[in-house]
Structure 1
């Protein structure tokens, strides 16, 4: 049951990885009017990518309540707790499963406003991902560009597009870039799964190290997402920590971890293939280069930056080139410093429309109607049941008999077994799978 009768808003976030917790928690913070009280309850969906305590601290948003849950336990909690807003910070299939599970759990009774969206650049599975998110009250688009695409998809399949709400990425911000640091600092923002093969990753690492050798007066940093043993949205088969062994990099080259915003505070040139870090840097006017060395291809995601003015090669960067971004492109992406996605005003104003929409939904006479996803057993009988089954839900959204649950905190033995299983999965992905592929020439 919603708690909107009180002055303090209660918001819950369900996340399945470190990056989605970051997006969900910061989105929840942005969606809450500054004048309103704010309580944040966090639920971490149990799986291979459940974030560690360090990863949670790195986000910088403190939850009033935080626990790890199974899907069934989360659905039960949503019938026992009262919230105003629920943010589903999950992969598309997870969002769809929870929408059906929540529809079954809440029925036609009182419920919170349900919000979902994307962590960063949407460069693949646009239609699939959007239809899996349909049914939430707000589907957040991080830019005017995305909002236009999202509405076109929903309207194109003949479903309601009114949930699409233009905002901005919630983690933009920080002090604008004012000039070179001493020493001049180049940062390469690594990605767990782009590129996805040893040859290309070794190539990028080699060029980064070579740039450090060519420019001994510069500090060259390889910014990594996770430390060894940690899990993230994508399991890295070929972590750079492993690839750098035996490379003998110069003294001005090193690996760094931590909050991207803090790294950008000392960055003079941000280099990446297609990381969302590029948008963070551009928002702060930090010179940013999106690499073309491996081609401009959809599989890499750097095609998203065509028209940005940021595409460049390592040869150009070695020679001193510093890309100049296109202002119109920046405005459409919602990352122009000091501007909203629609142009003009402050960055904070980018969330005004979402706040207003939530307020209207909370004040709706008679409460909110039941959730109504586009996918149903009638519209997608060959697709939806499999998605629900992966989350231990039946075709009606009700947890299946024997669905994993955690009625009480796991004991020490269970925790050890769980950590061991996650470690075995990561070992299999990073060490066993590559060997099998090489042996089979796959």
Structure 2
């Protein structure tokens, strides 16, 4: 039977920011079960329904377009609206691309609604994981994700750490599944471009202080002046007024307005893969962009100028061979990554990336073929095991301790009218203005 005649798998992705939508959608495409009726064993493109969790970081149309992942449908929802949607459409796989608290709330909500709909014997396989490097709140984030059928680990190192945490608290660790970051790819680095291009991958919340961010910007500009033959790019995640996974109180765009920038220095946006196509030296504090760069064997530097600290996340790169300072870069230093370290990080620069998602796909296929359907979701946290913690997590998403909607939870809003859309945009704009304009002023006044 030709592949085109097979029924494609249906996957839903719930995301709360642009970066998590990118991770969730690309993960969905890589773990989609192979349709048995495709004849030649080829993977049939899944039907992908996107759901954006309404909140401060809900991505704008521009951010979604920049990700470059097509969805067959896209809706903005609250948690309660999403739970209702899960009782109305049958899916093979559900990917939860959310912060830990959001994953835990949705897991409890799904457990409730699927138990109430006893006539629905088959539920989707629930998958979750992390967007990138896990360098903080390891136990907290993992236990909030426990209860999904698959908890994806982006590397061998993460898989070992995840299993150790679950085993250490007596939770089932069989859900931990080693894969890789879903957005790696692109042509391997083959040599210097003309002009030689240095890219600094900025992060919204690392570092946080004006002093540290100004220092990094000044050193980047200084590098451009010291090397006028090079092109120096500041790669930004979002434009002013937009939010991504983390709050950015001091956008580099704002700081750069006060500087006299050299002609070979530019601010750039867009898809990171396209920027890496012309990169000769990737520089960052701790961005996942470093792993994308290492995957393509592009010379990569993780800055040590502000220290090697857990708060910055660059401690994750200890042993990588990539730590260096701006002084060293100004003098022409090019790091050599440690191959053993790279292989443990899921970077798959050795060519194994093509098969990295096979174990997850095989596990999903087995779960979907389970006689009688899948068992109820069983998160580690319950009202009995975490009575002082779980109710607050659920309440933030208008859910009660048993996962049911609280009185007064936002009503279903399938097609909000133009007035409501305007109000929502205005509310988000006011919030972002408060974060990026008002909050820094109040903080400085408090330091007087």
Aligning the two structures, in what range does the TM-score lie when normalised by the shorter sequence?
over 0.9
Q: Tell me the distance in 1 between the aligned counterparts of 2:288 and 2:379.
A: 28
Contact 1:69/1:405 (8 A) holds in 2: no
Q: Tell me the distance in 1 between the aligned counterparts of 2:234 and 2:443.
A: 27
Aligned to 2:38: none
The structure 1 segments of at least 4 consecutive aligned residues displaced by more than 3 Å after TM superposition are none
Contact 2:242/2:432 (8 A) holds in 1: no
Aligned to 1:369: 375
Q: Tell me the distance in 1 between the aligned counterparts of 2:362 and 2:49.
A: 22
Is it true that 1:12 corresponds to 2:12 in the alignment? yes
Q: Tell me the distance in 2 between the aligned counterparts of 1:38 and 1:118.
A: 22
Q: Tell me the distance in 2 between the aligned counterparts of 1:327 and 1:78.
A: 44
Is it true that 1:85 corresponds to 2:93 in the alignment? yes
Contact 1:31/1:351 (8 A) holds in 2: yes
Q: Tell me the distance in 1 between the aligned counterparts of 2:249 and 2:45.
A: 43
Aligned to 1:198: 210
Normalising by the residue count of structure 1, what TM-score does the alignment of the two structures yield? 0.96
Q: Tell me the distance in 2 between the aligned counterparts of 1:251 and 1:28.
A: 42
Q: Kindly state the Cα deviation for residue 202 of structure 1 after the two structures are TM-superposed.
A: 0.1
Aligned to 1:343: none
Alignment map for 1:82-161 (pairs within 5 Å) = 82-107=90-115, 109-161=121-173
Aligned to 1:173: 185
Q: Kindly state the Cα deviation for residue 24 of structure 1 after the two structures are TM-superposed.
A: 0.1
Aligned to 2:234: 222
Q: Kindly state the Cα deviation for residue 432 of structure 1 after the two structures are TM-superposed.
A: 1.0
Gaps of 5+ in 1: 1-5, 340-345
SS in structure 1 of the partner of residue 9 of structure 2: strand
Q: Tell me the distance in 2 between the aligned counterparts of 1:48 and 1:174.
A: 32
Aligned length: 431
Indicate the larger mover: 37-46 or 302-311: 37-46
Contact 1:226/1:232 (8 A) holds in 2: yes
Alignment map for 1:320-339 (pairs within 5 Å) = 320-339=332-351
Q: Tell me the distance in 1 between the aligned counterparts of 2:226 and 2:104.
A: 50
Q: Kindly state the Cα deviation for residue 431 of structure 1 after the two structures are TM-superposed.
A: 1.2
Is it true that 1:234 corresponds to 2:246 in the alignment? yes
Q: Tell me the distance in 2 between the aligned counterparts of 1:405 and 1:139.
A: 31
Q: Tell me the distance in 1 between the aligned counterparts of 2:48 and 2:277.
A: 28
Q: Tell me the distance in 2 between the aligned counterparts of 1:406 and 1:365.
A: 34
Gaps of 5+ in 2: 1-5, 35-41
Q: Kindly state the Cα deviation for residue 175 of structure 1 after the two structures are TM-superposed.
A: 0.3
Q: Tell me the distance in 1 between the aligned counterparts of 2:317 and 2:139.
A: 20
Aligned to 1:210: 222
Q: Tell me the distance in 2 between the aligned counterparts of 1:392 and 1:62.
A: 30
Aligned to 2:37: none
Q: Tell me the distance in 1 between the aligned counterparts of 2:412 and 2:277.
A: 42
Alignment map for 1:27-66 (pairs within 5 Å) = 27-32=27-32, 33=34, 34-66=42-74
Q: Kindly state the Cα deviation for residue 65 of structure 1 after the two structures are TM-superposed.
A: 0.8
Normalising by the residue count of structure 2, what TM-score does the alignment of the two structures yield? 0.95
Cα shift readout 1:267-301 (whole Å, capped 9, x = no counterpart)? 00000000000000000000000000000000000
Contact 2:241/2:433 (8 A) holds in 1: no
Aligned to 1:266: 278
Aligned to 1:342: none
Q: Tell me the distance in 2 between the aligned counterparts of 1:406 and 1:54.
A: 26
Contact 1:327/1:336 (8 A) holds in 2: no
Is it true that 1:186 corresponds to 2:198 in the alignment? yes
Cα shift readout 1:204-263 (whole Å, capped 9, x = no counterpart)? 000000000000000000000001222211121000000001210100001000000000
Q: Kindly state the Cα deviation for residue 37 of structure 1 after the two structures are TM-superposed.
A: 4.1
Q: Tell me the distance in 2 between the aligned counterparts of 1:56 and 1:251.
A: 30
Is it true that 1:418 corresponds to 2:424 in the alignment? yes
Q: Tell me the distance in 2 between the aligned counterparts of 1:37 and 1:329.
A: 34
SS in structure 2 of the partner of residue 8 of structure 1: coil
